[in-house]
């Protein structure tokens, strides 16, 4: 059984690593960014409300995020494990997640922090070219990360759940270090 949270700045490789690990462990990769982009593409009520925040690189308000995550973690396919990518992103979301996991009698095994320097991130994301991957929005996502999400590194470190991995290496090397870190943590 594997339950991991992927933390880390935009473009750190959370999605890339979580997807590979989810495939290897046959457990769902739950990316709040992917869920929101799906909602935007389908023009659902959630998507219509979230789009402007995502386009600006701002966090989507908790009034839209929290129920979404609670509902997703209550579904049967995640009962045996999950890889959470992009949630929590604030201390408030982390506290909420604690409550949800407590309610469904689950706990997170580790929180993976992928470290990548800002200049590498900007280059990676400009090459990818998602709608929120232009230089000013990328830089704003990095600021939002530093102000609102980076405090979670200490939050989880103090609880001895944090595992840091150097994300500034080829994808396969990051995967290898990640596997080793989880096994030896």
Minimum CB distance to ligand AP5 smaller for 1 or for 117: 117
**Binder among 22, 27, 30, 59 for ligand AP5 (CB under 6 A):** 59
The first and second tokens of residue 98, run together, are 């604690």
Query: Which residues sit opposite 41 in a β-bridge?
Result: none
Contact segment (CB under 5 A) with Mg ion among 33-41, 59-67, 139-147, 166-174 equals 33-41
CB of 139 to ligand AP5, least distance (A): 12
Pairing status of strand 162-166 against strand 81-85:
unpaired
Beta strands in the chain (DSSP E): 2-7, 29-31, 81-85, 110-115, 162-166
In the block, residue with structure tokens 């408030």: 92
100 binds, among Mg ion, ligand AP5, none (CB under 5 to 8 A by kind): none
Kindly list the distances between the CA atom of residue 167 and the CA atoms of 16, 103, 163, in Å, as whole numbers in the listed order: 11, 33, 12
Q: What is the DSSP letter of 78?
A: G
- Cα separation, 72 vs 69, in Å, equals 5
* Interaction of residue 12 with ligand AP5, rule CB under 6 A: yes
Select the residue interacting with ligand AP5 from 43, 52, 128, 146 (CB under 6 A). Answer: 128
- Among ligand AP5, Mg ion, none, what does residue 72 contact (CB within 5–8 Å per kind)? none
- The reply to whether 32 sits near ligand AP5 by the rule CB under 6 A is yes
Interacting residue ranges for ligand AP5, rule: CB under 6 A: 8, 10-16, 32-33, 36, 53-54, 57-60, 65, 86-87, 89, 93, 124-125, 128, 141, 167, 170-171, 174
């Amino acid at each position: 059984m594997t339950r991991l949270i992927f933390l880390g700045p935009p473009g750190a490789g959370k999605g890339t690593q979580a997807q590979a690990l989810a495939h290897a462990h046959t457990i769902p990769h739950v990316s709040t960014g992917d869920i929101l982009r799906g909602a935007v593409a389908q023009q659902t009520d959630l998507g219509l409300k979230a789009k402007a925040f995502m386009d600006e690189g701002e966090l989507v308000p908790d009034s839209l995020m929290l129920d979404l995550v609670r509902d997703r973690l209550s579904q049967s396919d995640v009962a045996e494990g999950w890889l959470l990518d992009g949630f929590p992103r604030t201390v408030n979301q982390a506290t909420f997640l604690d409550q949800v996991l407590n309610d469904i009698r689950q706990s997170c095994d580790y929180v993976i922090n992928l470290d990548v320097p800002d200049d590498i991130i900007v280059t990676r994301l400009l090459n990818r070219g998602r709608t929120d991957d232009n230089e000013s929005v990328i830089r704003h996502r990095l600021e939002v990360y530093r102000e609102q999400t980076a405090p979670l590194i200490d939050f989880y470190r103090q609880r001895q759940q944090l595992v840091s991995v150097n994300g500034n290496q080829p994808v396969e090397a990051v995967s290898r270090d990640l596997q080793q870190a989880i096994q030896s943590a």
